[in-house]
Amino acid sequence: MKTPAEYIESLRKLKLNVYMFGRKVENLVDDPIIRPSMNAVAATYSMAMKPEYQDIMTATSHITGKKINRFTHIHQSNDDLVKKSKMGRLLGARTGCCFQRCVGMDALNALSMTTYDIDQKHNTQYNKRFLKYLQYVQENDLVCDGAMTDPKGDRSLPPHKQEDPDMFLRVVEEKKDGIVVRGAKAHQTGAVNSHEIIVMPTISMREEDRDFALSFALPSDTKGITYIMGRQSCDTRKLEDGDIDRGNVVFGGHEALVIFDDVFVPWERVFMYREHEFAGQLVEQFASYHRQSYACKVGVGDVLIGAVQTAAEYNGIQKASHVKDKIIEMNQMNETLYCGCIACASEGHRELSGTWYVDTLLANVHKQNVTRFPYEIARLAQDIAGGLMVTCPSEEDLKSPEVGKWVEKYLRGTSTVPTEHRIRILRLIENITLGTAAVGYLTESMHGAGSPQAQRIMISRLVNMKEKQDTARRLAGIFEDRG
């Protein structure tokens, strides 16, 4: 397994083509806006080194028997799935933001099942190729970006009917030794901190869409791949001197738009090629795993609740009954989220490939809760934090020789707490509920791993309504056979 320092060094060796604010980023590792997101991924390495977290952060590879980072593991039991949920909470609480490495783990696990199932049906060799790739990822302890979301253009049209056929990533040329692909993947979490990019289709497909039914993996610095960094609110605060106004002084997340401009993929890296009838399965399996992964929001919720309790104490309002009650409510919602990600893991089952898969109904219910509770937790956090969270002068004003003394004097809460500490904790709450980390805690909670309606469709498909109705009729004394 890599140390965090080895991880950062390994990124220095990559030559990713990255743009931000219209300019090419020459030194990703030391870029002040990107570096906090790299630090968050590095936490997935450092925590795996700590003796007290070995059980959660590491696993035994089912292909080599070696000890590996859990982020590269294929789940072999319910216990593995439960530990995955615990790992998400642990790292969310450690970083207070999106630590980005789950998408690759979820892509690997979904592919371990889908490649097996395609081979069973079509007598292909995808699973063998995949396992070879998996071993490479495990032995080098790599970060993989799981790239699913296509730009999608006109949402009312399937891929093959789009006016611009590149709206869904597709094969444009087949060669003897591989394929050439073109298209883009949007909202790619952790893309520029990844060694590999694993591409999957974004929706289920019909035969006419088979050129879009692709899955493959490439090194992230492959020729023809370009990354365009997404903006986050308050992102340029990271360029300022000082660290108070950043809120989270060490960690952050990032997303990027990834362009594939006629990129060559060798056959040994192709895991699905025009098998349109398996596109939907791969999407569903990845999405269910990723809906479980939103255990991370529980960990970020832990940070937010801790910050709010601290802010209340700094203001001297911690004993007010409504404040105590609101904090209880925040905890109740946060632990309800935890129940969901533990439940879908505990109720998981073994698939034919041997991989353990979450209970999809419960994973969807969990993610549906994630689209709501963090918003409500954030609302209560802002209620208790008070308006100063958004009207507070800058760090430079606090440190100004002219006005600093007034900021210090008038923004003080209880007399035992330095004004700077009060401002710092409010900036952290601002960061999670309005700033750079709100991308992960709020909007990604809404749309990541599928927007709310996607889970509602799955819930309606997966509940056993007939059984519920039969039970109700029986108890009501209705025994007629309705077929």
Among 33, 118, 296, 438, indicate the residue that binds ligand SF4 (CB under 6 A).
Answer: 296
CB of 142 or CB of 392, closer to ligand SF4: 142
CB of 25 or CB of 296, closer to ligand SF4: 296
Residue 294 binds what, of ligand SF4, Fe ion, none (CB under 5 to 8 Å, by partner type)?
ligand SF4
Please identify the residue of the shown chain whose CB is closest to the bound Fe ion. 448
CB of 316 to Fe ion, least distance (A): 38
CB of 183 or CB of 450, closer to ligand SF4: 450
CB of 426 to ligand SF4, least distance (A): 24
Residue 440 binds what, of ligand SF4, Fe ion, none (CB under 5 to 8 Å, by partner type)?
ligand SF4
Q: Is 234 a catalytic residue?
A: no
CB of 440 to Fe ion, least distance (A): 8
CB of 58 or CB of 95, closer to ligand SF4: 95
Give the Cα separation of 359 and 459 in Å (integer). 12
* 3-state per-residue secondary structure call for the chain: CCCHHHHHHHHHHCCCCEEECCEECCCCCCCCCCHHHHHHHHHHHHHHHCHHHHHHHEEECCCCCCEEEHHHCCCCCHHHHHHHHHHHHHHHHHHCCCCCCHHHHHHHHHHHHHHHHHHHHHCCCHHHHHHHHHHHHHHCCCCEEEECCCCCCCCCCCHHHCCCHHHCCEEEEECCCEEEEEEEEEEEECHHHCCEEEECCCCCCCHHHHHHCEEEEEECCCCCEEEEECCCCCHHHHHCCCCHHHCCCCCCCCEEEEEEEEEEEEHHHEEEECCHHHHHHHHHHHHHHHHHHCCHHHHHHHHHHHHHHHHHHHHCCCCCHHHHHHHHHHHHHHHHHHHHHHHHHHCCEECCCCCEECCHHHHHHHHHHHCCHHHHHHHHHHHHHCCHHHHCCCHHHHCCCCCHHHHHHHCCCCCCCCHHHHHHHHHHHHHHHCCCCHHHHHHHHHHCCCCHHHHHHHHHHHCCHHHHHHHHHHHCCCCCCCC
Of residues 397 through 456, those in contact with ligand SF4 by CB under 6 A are 440, 444, 448
Does residue 293 bind ligand SF4 (CB under 6 A)?
Answer: yes
Q: Is 329 a catalytic residue?
A: no
CB of 189 or CB of 353, closer to ligand SF4: 189
Q: Closest by alpha carbon to 267, among 89, 100, 130, 367?
A: 130
Q: Is 58 a catalytic residue?
A: no
The two three-digit tokens of residue 189, written as one number? 């979490």
Does residue 45 bind ligand SF4 (CB under 6 A)?
Answer: no
Q: Is 444 a catalytic residue?
A: yes
Give the Cα separation of 401 and 123 in Å (integer). 75
CB of 192 or CB of 244, closer to ligand SF4: 192
CB of 419 to ligand SF4, least distance (A): 33
Stretch that binds ligand SF4, among 95-103, 156-164, 342-350, 381-389 (CB under 6 A): 95-103
Of residues 425 through 464, those in contact with Fe ion by CB under 5 A are 448
Q: Is 294 a catalytic residue?
A: yes
Q: Is 102 a catalytic residue?
A: yes
Q: Is 255 a catalytic residue?
A: yes
Of residues 117 through 146, those in contact with ligand SF4 by CB under 6 A are none
CB of 76 to Fe ion, least distance (A): 24
Stretch that binds ligand SF4, among 72-80, 120-128, 288-296, 305-313 (CB under 6 A): 288-296
Does residue 189 bind ligand SF4 (CB under 6 A)?
Answer: yes
**Among residues 149, 189, 310, 360, which one is catalytic?**
189
**Among residues 133, 227, 273, 294, which one is catalytic?**
294
CB of 449 to ligand SF4, least distance (A): 7
Which residues are identified as catalytic? 98, 102, 189, 255, 290, 294, 296, 444
Q: Which residues bind ligand SF4 (CB under 6 A)?
A: 98-100, 102-103, 189, 293-294, 296, 440, 444, 448
